[in-house]
């Protein structure tokens, strides 16, 4: 099944692993390719060796290890729209042949590639940073420990979410033939307090060259990650491996869901996620025989706060007669006088249908301001 991108609490069918740790949410799955040793693309299913959520396969990412020697590597990229990218990896010996350190840093910034004609600047801007340190300890010939501590700070924008999808009636076919809600509602004239002829409707399916929204869809993602890999060679043929991982992700972002200049429907989301995993493996290899046996523990928690902001609900709720006296300055509340706060059962349309019936009928009602919207009874 396709991966859901609107709810990070749902698992993806293809697992992404970084240094042996499964990333349990789509949020924060950023892979820095400047500091990778290799990337393995493994066709699924891979449940035997990698566990759950691997029906479609595994993207197994292995980052470079500290070299135990002095060294530095960097890259600078400059481009259009004020693009700046800086990447750096540095290695240093801390205790000769016993402890080495690697530091890494990535910074990306640009001003966006498409002009937002309403707010007067380009969107979506990029503002992203990743940095951390990896320590490799080899106190004996039989044992090693690899610890990575890192942080992601992403304050970019989501892009033009649903922007310029504000289709007018007749532009597209099928379910979109009646036009989209924002276009038909704001320009219908049926409700004076909702009419705003200045809201542009999209009249062509050509790829737009500009966008026009009242917000820039700001987004923020902060991730703290800790990974500890340990290996003890019991003999030349037998090893004990431990992989410990902890990740903490915090998201805050806003979608201009209506895709117009009007503050109509904005979706505010605040998500907090954390995961802890512990894997123990016993690995053996002899001539003609190899095996892996192990145990795995996983715990994750996801909290999702979802808020619909903008004028949508105030306008809908204002159709109820009590306790609102006016739904707009000088515009009285339509009869009946009291709808028991049930917007969808009051305020009859000239067709004689309630808002709920009009919404469900959609295409059957001439000049229906709800366009192609379908409502569940």
CB contact at 8 A, 249 and 259: no
pLDDT at 152 over 50: yes
Confidence band for 342, pLDDT divided at 50, 70 and 90: very low
The DSSP-derived string for 142-185 is TEEEEEEEEEEEE--B---TTTT--BPTTSS-GGGTT--HHHHH
pLDDT confidence of residue 320 = 39
pLDDT at 322 over 60: no
What is this structure's pTM? 0.79
HSE (side-chain half, CA atoms, 13 Å) at 84:
7
Nearest to 129 by CA among 149, 103, 150: 150
In this structure, what are the phi and psi dihedrals at residue 184, rounded to the nearest 5 degrees? -70, -35
pLDDT confidence of residue 91 = 98
Residue range 219-256, pLDDT digits in tens: 999 999 999 999 999 999 999 999 999 999 999 988 88
Confidence band for 373, pLDDT divided at 50, 70 and 90: very low
Higher pLDDT, 52 or 61: 61
CB contact at 8 A, 105 and 200: no
Confidence band for 362, pLDDT divided at 50, 70 and 90: low
Confidence band for 166, pLDDT divided at 50, 70 and 90: confident
pLDDT confidence of residue 175 = 80
62-66, 266-270, 276-280: least confident range:
266-270
Cα–Cα distance list, 167 to 30, 114, 164, 171, 310 (Å): 34, 19, 7, 7, 20
Confidence band for 1, pLDDT divided at 50, 70 and 90: very low
**Which residues are CB-neighbours of 145 under 8 A, at least 6 positions away?**
135, 136, 137, 228, 229, 230
DSSP label at residue 362: G
Q: What token pair was written down for 360?
A: 């469900």
Confidence band for 336, pLDDT divided at 50, 70 and 90: very low
**From CA 362, how far away is CA 368, in angstroms rounded?**
6
Long-range (24+ apart) CB contacts under 8 A made by 366-369 are: 367/188, 367/190, 368/178, 368/184, 369/184, 369/185, 369/188, 369/190, 369/191, 369/194
- Average pLDDT, integer, range 348-354: 58
pLDDT at 163 over 70: no
Which of left, alpha, beta for 351 (phi over 0: left; psi -120 to 50: alpha)?
A: alpha
pLDDT confidence of residue 303 = 92
Residue range 274-316, pLDDT digits in tens: 999 999 999 999 999 999 999 999 999 999 888 888 776 666 5
CB contact at 8 A, 284 and 290: yes
Q: What token pair was written down for 200?
A: 């542009």
User: What integer best gives the mean pLDDT of the chain?
Assistant: 81
Burial of 144 (0-12, 13-18, 19+ CB in 10 A): middle
């Amino acid at each position: 099944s396709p991966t859901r991108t609107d709810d990070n609490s749902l698992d993806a069918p293809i697992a992404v692993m970084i240094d042996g740790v499964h990333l349990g949410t789509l949020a924060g799955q950023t892979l820095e390719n400047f500091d990778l040793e290799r990337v393995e693309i493994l066709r699924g299913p891979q449940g035997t060796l990698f566990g759950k959520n691997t029906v479609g396969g595994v993207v197994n990412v292995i980052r470079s290890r500290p070299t135990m020697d002095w060294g530095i590597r960097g890259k600078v990229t400059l481009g259009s729209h004020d693009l700046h990218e800086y990447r750096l990896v540095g290695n240093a010996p801390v205790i000769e042949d016993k402890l080495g350190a690697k530091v890494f840093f990535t910074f990306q910034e640009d001003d966006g590639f498409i002009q937002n004609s309403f707010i007067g600047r380009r969107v979506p801007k990029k503002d992203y940073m990743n940095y951390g340190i990896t320590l490799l300890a080899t106190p004996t010939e039989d044992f090693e420990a690899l610890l990575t501590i890192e942080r992601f700070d992403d304050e970019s924008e989501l892009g033009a979410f649903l922007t310029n999808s504000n289709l007018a009636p007749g532009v597209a076919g099928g379910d979109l033939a009646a036009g989209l809600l924002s276009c038909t509602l704001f320009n219908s004239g049926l409700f004076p307090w909702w009419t705003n002829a200045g809201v542009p409707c999209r009249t062509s399916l050509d790829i737009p060259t500009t966008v026009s929204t009242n917000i820039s869809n700001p987004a923020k993602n902060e991730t703290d990650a800790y990974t500890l890999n340990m290996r003890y060679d019991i003999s030349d043929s037998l090893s004990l491996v431990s992989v410990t991982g902890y990740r903490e992700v915090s998201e805050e972002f806003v979608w201009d869901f209506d895709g117009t200049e009007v503050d109509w429907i904005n979706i505010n989301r605040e998500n907090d996620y954390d995961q802890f995993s512990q894997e123990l493996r016993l690995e053996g290899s002899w001539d003609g025989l190899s095996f892996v046996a192990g145990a795995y523990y996983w715990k994750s928690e996801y909290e999702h706060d979802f808020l619909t902001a903008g004028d949508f609900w105030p306008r809908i709720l204002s159709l109820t007669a009590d306790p609102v006296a006016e739904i707009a300055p000088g515009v009285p509340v339509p009869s009946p006088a009291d709808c028991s706060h049930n917007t969808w059962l009051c305020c009859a349309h000239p067709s004689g249908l309630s808002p709920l019936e009009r919404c469900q009928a959609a295409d059957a009602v001439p000049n229906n301001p709800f366009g192609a919207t379908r409502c569940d009874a």
